[in-house]
Chain A
Amino acid sequence: MYIQNNQLFNREVHKMAGKDKNFSRRDFLKTSGIATGALIGGGIIGGLIGANTNKQDATTTAPGTSGETSGSTGAVRGLTFFKTTAEFEAISQATERIFPEDDLGPGAIGLGVPYFIDGQLAGSYGENSKEYMQGPFFVGEPTQGYQSRLKRNEIFRQGIQLMEQEAQSRFEAKFVDLEGEQMDEILTAFQENEIKMRGVESQFFFRLLRQATLEGAYADPIYGGNVNMDGWRMKGFPGHQLAYIKDIESEDFVEIDPKSVGMNHK
């Protein structure tokens, strides 16, 4: 039932989420449009991000369009890398712990970060297409950087599996069903290199995850994150402006409504 109407559904619940600051984590899952029911129901076409890009002011450019507001484009959201909703939910919750919703504005889920990461993992970032991936591979000094034979998308996939494994062994629950503090405990274990990963260290996975979360929150919305440019709005970054020559000598802070490079064609 969610699937047919999920754009409407998500739009409505997203508004709810913004109003009610006392919702539980579980409610947040639902209100953020990745409620398990909707996902398990057989797909997430037109899911979370479609809802958010259809917000009332509709200034966000939908991916693949040339600056038309997304309200009329029927922008469709889906997964291009993750294969199961379980993986996607887990990574969604992890990014939300890294960059949570608060009174300043949306967190990673509300900003579409999970979709951003999914898209990046399916492309040149995930495939390490601009990295030197010839062997032989050796474990190096930390000062020598990335030495894994694994591509980033392989590291993410393994990392998510291990997040689930840790959730089971520590709390006998799925990662997405944990309380926030429990999720943080597992993420911290990754960060502090306490989780045994194969072919890469867990702190490296955590660094990728943290960085990808920030990238999704603040990259131009053309990449699917930073929905409604709300990442920029929170931060006071105006995005793509042609010039600041009129304001550069201002003594005061200048507030400027942000613009995406995707709006060039307007």
Chain B
Amino acid sequence: MVTTLESVDVVTVGVGWTGGIIAAECAKEGLKVVGLERGRERGTEDFSMVHDEYRYAVRYELMQDLSKETITFRNNRKQRALPMRQLGSFLLGEGLGGAGTHWNGQTWRFLPYDFEIKTMTDKKYGANKLSADYTIQDWGITYDELEPYFDRFEKTVGISGEDKNPFWGKRSSDFPTPPMKKTAMLQRFENATSNLGYTPFMMPSANLSEAYENPDGQKINACQYCGFCERFGCEYGAKTSPEITVVPAAKETGNYEVRFNANVVEVIKEGDKVTGVRYYDTVTFEEFIQPANAVVLTSYVMNNAKLLMVSDIGQQYDPETGQGTLGKNYAYQILPGASGFFDEQMNTFMGAGALGMTIDDFNGDAFDHGDLDFIHGASISSTQTGSRPILSNPTPPGTPSWGADFKRASIENFTRIQGVGGQGASMPHKENFLTLDGTYKDIYGVPLLQLNYNFTDQDRALHSYITEKAEAIVKEMGAKTVAAGGGLTDYDIVPYQTTHNTGGTIMGADPDTSVVNNFLQHWDAENLFVIGAGNFAHNGGYNPTGTVGALAYRCAEGVIRYSREGGSLA
């Protein structure tokens, strides 16, 4: 039996950064908003004993319970897709705040080049720079159009940073708070990259350098550099998260309700509109329909795409024909880098998730690709995020992986290693896509999402190029031993890499090549919006959250305008 509830103006599926931003903006405009969150409520008070590497970083306390739902994966269509039975390559979140609770806080604006990558690449290098197998396309919005929304998001978060990077887009205002502290480790990277002629700058950080009150009146505390950010919640309220900013801002209006343990399984579509969503109470397994004038999908990349697929909204992408847009252009990231082993001990265990310095000299199109067989690049950083002993056992090349020599080397180098790493952009490929799995289901009987993904020749070429640059920087830093990462082979879902999954519900200017328009309004259902890194038509050389946050503010404007005027916003 399904219980149909009273209709509301806006329902969001998931309450993290995107769901929280939609809620705050719409509720402030007087719209009644309900956020359906499959996980539990949580907040700063839950994290007083969070400095527990085993519970949070190893056993994934804050992450999705895969016994209920996971994805399936294969490298290519010749393989049989099999379930991701335990977390590994990326960490799916769950609960209030979503991944915005356990993120590191490295907060970037994608480059102007990213948003017009097809046009700019064709213009500079000709239309055949990459083969037709790479389905790059413009995003249907420019950096300049998105700039006010970046500004808005950064002011909500209170980002700490410095505008010293010559390669990023023009900013309408400076960072809300000054950069984080420049530690000895960061100075070593700064000196080395300066010597090599590059332009290092402090990484934009959502771990705040000083206490800050945002435009909504929410207060964020100053970071204490305790070294427990990624995979953890912040016990100080010093890592800006949805549950200490946009969620309370929405609640203060009286127009917002978050309903926990509510797992949405379907978006209900009638004609060219949606009428609401169907969800299970995960405690009682009762089924409900929450009708709404507008539905906003604000879960992660994976479930946004899955919900559209199981609800039969939009046309599934088919790699055989290239037809369809839903599930298209799934992209990831590559992580080239090098490690330096030093004689002297460093305070590697101190830090913050976004404590780092970066160069963008090899990101985007900051360097000439005329003689190179790839496009785009990587931000190259050295970070001091807080090393922890279970997961950090660095050993020089040639050390055994267990036994006496391993023990000695891993203990010695825990405080004697500093890495330089790139976040390499990921270009979409026709064989990298999301679809529904034909075999495996979640506990609600809904098919699992199927990930088809492998690294490409473009990835391998870029990886190799950036690895050399990172290696040279580590050498310049004076390491006694330099260990460069190996070449890329096949994508492996087992070791952790990055939770920067993108694509599948891409944005664009044309309904034939995108799922949503540049207000993130679905082309096939005018009162349905889809927000997240799934909107990215390719993945850039940075962490995604800054760009996701900007898109969420853009979308909020669209939802509000739609609720007043109706119709397509494109």
Chain A contact residues, CB within 8 Å of chain B: 97-100, 102, 104, 107, 124-125, 128-134, 136, 138, 140-147, 184, 187, 191, 210, 213-215, 217-220, 222-223, 231-232, 234-245, 247-251, 253-254, 261, 264
**How many pairs, one residue from A and one from B, have CB atoms within 8 Å of each other in the complex?**
174
The answer to whether the Cβ of B227 comes within 8 Å of any Cβ in the partner chain is: yes
Q: What are the 7 tightest A-B residue pairs by CB atom distance, in nearest-first order? A: A243-B224, A219-B54, A253-B345, A218-B389, A240-B51, A244-B350, A132-B70
- Do B401 and A237 have beta carbons less than 8 Å apart? no
Partner of A244, one of B184, B347, B403: B347
CB distance from A126 to the nearest CB of B (A): 12
Smallest beta-carbon distance A199→chain B, Å: 13
Given A98-B402, A131-B67, A239-B51, A250 contacting B225 (CB threshold 8 A):
no
Q: Which of A134, A146, A234 is close to B441, meaning CB atoms less than 8 Å apart? A: A134
Q: Can you list 8 A-B contacts (CB < 8 A)?
A: A140-B82, A145-B492, A147-B85, A210-B402, A218-B388, A243-B225, A244-B226, A245-B222
A140→B493 CA distance, assembly (Å): 12
In the complex, which residue of chain B has the Cβ closest to the Cβ of A253?
Answer: B345
| Residue of A97, A138, A222, A238 touching B82 (CB-CB under 8 A) | A138
Chain A residues near B491 (CB, 8 Å)?
A: 143
Binds A, one of B257-265, B276-284, B407-415: B407-415
Q: Could you say which residues of chain B place their CB within 8 Å of the CB of A245?
A: 222-225
**Contacts A143-B490, A145-B494, A248-B183 known; A237 to B85 CB distance under 8 Å?**
no
Q: How far is the CA of A104 from the CA of B175 in the complex (A)?
A: 46
A102 touches B350 (CB 8 A): no
Cβ of A91 to closest chain B Cβ, rounded Å: 14
Contact between A130 and B60 (Cβ–Cβ < 8 Å)? yes
Report A82 CB to chain B, min CB distance, Å: 20
Are B440 and A144 touching (Cβ within 8 A)? no
Decide yes or no whether B132 CB sits under 8 A from chain A.
no
Question: Contact at B181–A145, with CB atoms within 8 Å?
Answer: no
User: Chain B contacts of A240 at CB under 8 A?
Assistant: 51-52
Pick the residue among B54, B60, B415 that contacts A253 (CB under 8 A): B415
Out of B65, B226, B388, name the residue touching A243 (CB < 8 Å): B226
Pick the contact of B49: A100, A184, A261 (CB < 8 A): A261
A235 touches B51 (CB 8 A): no
For B387-413 the 0/1 string (1 means CB < 8 A from A) is: 111100100000001111011100100
Contact A261 B51 (CB under 8 A): yes
- Interface residues contributed by chain B, number (CB under 8 Å): 65
Which of A129, A131, A242, A253 sits near B85, CB closer than 8 Å?
A131
Which one of A104, A132, A236 lies within 8 Å of B407 (CB-CB)?
Answer: A104
Residue pair B388, A145 in contact (C-beta under 8 Å): no
| CA of A261 to CA of B48, assembled, Å | 9
Q: Is there a chain A Cβ closer than 8 Å to B310's Cβ?
A: no
Choice from B74, B75, B414, B440 contacting A236 with Cβ under 8 Å: B414
Given A134-B440, A237-B388, A264-B49: A147 and B224 interface contact (C-beta under 8 Å):
no
Most B-side CB within 10 Å, residue of A97, A215, A264 = A215
Among B67, B69, B407, the most chain A Cβ lie within 10 Å of the Cβ of B407
Q: Who on chain A is nearest to B83 by CB?
A: A132
Q: Which of B52-72 contact A (CB under 8 A)?
A: 52-54, 58-60, 65-67, 69-70
CA distance A107 to B403 in the complex (A): 10
A93 to B387, CA, bound (A): 29
Q: Are A249 and B183 in contact (CB under 8 A)?
A: yes
- B346 within 8 Å of A (CB atoms): yes
Give the A-binding residues of B (Cβ under 8 A).
48-49, 51-54, 58-60, 65-67, 69-70, 73-75, 79-80, 82-86, 88, 181-184, 222-227, 344-347, 349-351, 387-390, 393, 401-404, 406-408, 411, 414-415, 439-441, 490-494
Q: How far is the CB of A245 from chain B (nearest CB, A)?
A: 5
A130→B67 contact, CB < 8 A: yes
CB distance from A220 to the nearest CB of B (A): 5
12 additional contacts (CB under 8 A) given A134-B83, A138-B82, A248-B347: A130-B65, A132-B67, A133-B67, A138-B80, A142-B494, A144-B74, A147-B85, A217-B389, A236-B411, A244-B224, A244-B350, A245-B224
Give complex CA distance A218, B492 in Å. Answer: 27
- Residues on the A chain within 8 Å of B414, using CB: 235-237
Closest to B453 in A: A143
A223 CA to B58 CA in the complex, in Å?
Answer: 13
A237 in contact with B389 (CB, 8 Å): yes
CB–CB A125/B494 < 8 A: no
Which residues on the B side are within 8 Å of A97 (C-beta)?
A: 402-403
- Please, which residues of chain A bring their CB within 8 A of the CB of B181? 248-249
Cross-chain contact A144 with B67 (CB below 8 angstroms): no
Inter-chain contact B225/A264, CB cutoff 8 Å: no
Given known A-B contacts A220-B54, A264-B49, A147 and B226 have beta carbons under 8 A apart: no
Are B67 and A129 interface neighbours, CB within 8 A? yes
Considering the chains assembled together, what is the distance between the CA atoms of A134 and B49 in angstroms? Answer: 33
Whether the Cβ atoms of A247 and B347 lie closer than 8 Å is yes
The distance in angstroms between the C-alpha atoms of A144 and B415, with both chains bound, is 33
- Chain A residues with CB under 8 A of B350: 244, 247-248, 254
